[in-house]
Amino acid sequence: MKNKYQWYCLLVIMSLFFIPLSGYADEWGFITIPNGKPIRIGLGSMLSGDYASMGIDIKNGAEMAVLEKKSILGHPVILQAEDDGCGGPTSVAIAEKMCNNPLLVGVVGYMCSGGSKPASDVHNKYKVLMISPSSTAMELTSRGIPVFFRTCWNDATQARCAADFVIKKKWKKIVVLHDKSDYGQSLAHDFTNHISKNGLKILATEGLTRGDKDFAPILTKIKFMRPELIYFGGMAAEGVLLARQMKRVGIRAYFMSDDGCYTAKDFIQAGGRATNGCYVTYAKKPDAQWVKRFESCYGPCQTFSPQAYDATNILLEAVTQVAKKQTDGSLIIGKKALRDKVAGIQYKGITGKIAFNSHGDRTGSVVVIYKVVEENGKRFFKQLPL
């Protein structure tokens, strides 16, 4: 018995030597997918709770990409979706769980910047790739984390786009609101910065609480300032209430918000007539054909499913190119090689051309302005000409 065991050990050690010998050295190590085992793509987003509908939309985008890809070099691809609750501690726990899964090649996520930030440290520790479809906070790409990429834009891009538009429109009296989250605050901050650089003044900046329903007190106070524009950094749940309650309180100002409010169901449909004329910043419309395909499977396309679809595809593409099939049928994927492949990718996605800069941000201008318009009894986001 003992003898047999020794032989087995020797075999294992030998095979370990065999890997570098076969010419794939990788300073970050390898992911080995044994024969017959599936390749796992992780997904971290909020699947329950306040913004579950946005999180599920992301999951649907990723799922669609995985289902279309089906397999890589004979290994089936499966999506492992985890609910990270959009928050620090849970995201870290989920990140640890995913990074310690030896069959997982990378993660699409995480959904919120507040979750992506601590999770990216975990991913950096294990050198597991993450591509977020929706975390837009500036600091994510400025912290020198090599394994972080995003297929969305960053807050500065978005806020600058909004600010430029405001400057162009010559609106002078502006009130900024945010939902006190990392996301909302950073948008509000960047927007304010950009506005003030151009010599305009912000009348007031106020924060509100996520999950609250009654903003009449804040808006009553704001009404008194007689603003021309209210800019809100936050999500649709609060954004739509603001739009509605602005009308209720009697504020006749424009309302402008961010990608968080770019959802037909939770913003336009929920807000009804009150959302007419509201502006939001969001990516260029995704490929129309894709939207049709998506909507036939999952219902109305919301906010980040196109970005999630692209992120997943980039990950799958990189795996396809980097993975090496062994004679025993197993796959070997170099972690550094995978990362470098993603960093240098030139991908034609449904949200446009995708390439990453050295920080992991998408290059090129991606954000445009939409306005809610009502035409022929239908209300929708209309992209404004650049």
Site residues (vs other proteins, CB under 8 A): 47-50, 52-53, 55-56, 180, 204-209, 211-214, 216-218, 220-221, 223-224, 236-237, 240-241, 244, 248-250, 265-266, 269-270, 272
State the minimum distance, in angstroms, from the CB of residue 260 to other proteins.
13
Q: How far is the CB of 122 from other proteins (least distance, A)?
A: 26
d(CA 117, CA 181): 13
Minimum distance from CB of 166 to other proteins (Å)?
Answer: 22
Closest C-alpha to 244, from 222, 276, 282: 276
Closest CB 284 distance from other proteins, rounded Å: 26
Measured distance CA(328)–CA(310) in Å, rounded: 32
Residue with smaller CB distance to other proteins, 53 or 80 = 53
Report residue 150 as tokens: 């995003």
Backbone angles phi, psi at 374, to 5 degrees: -115, 115
C-beta atoms surrounding 351 within 10 Å: 23
Neighbours of 382 (CB within 10 A): 12
Distance CA 59, CA 330 (A): 28
Calpha distance 49→62 (Å, rounded): 20
Q: Which is nearer to other proteins, 102 or 299 (CB)?
A: 299
| Complex with other proteins: residue 182 or 310, whichever CB lies closer | 182
Minimum CB distance to other proteins smaller for 220 or for 330: 220
Cβ closest to other proteins, residue 141 vs residue 185: 185
Closest CA to 309 of 271, 279, 280, 283: 283
Least spacing, CB of residue 75 vs other proteins, in Å? 31
Provide, rounded to whole angstroms, the least separation between the CB of residue 254 and other proteins.
19
347-349 vs 75-83, strand pairing mode:
unpaired
* Closer residue to other proteins (CB): 189 or 335: 189
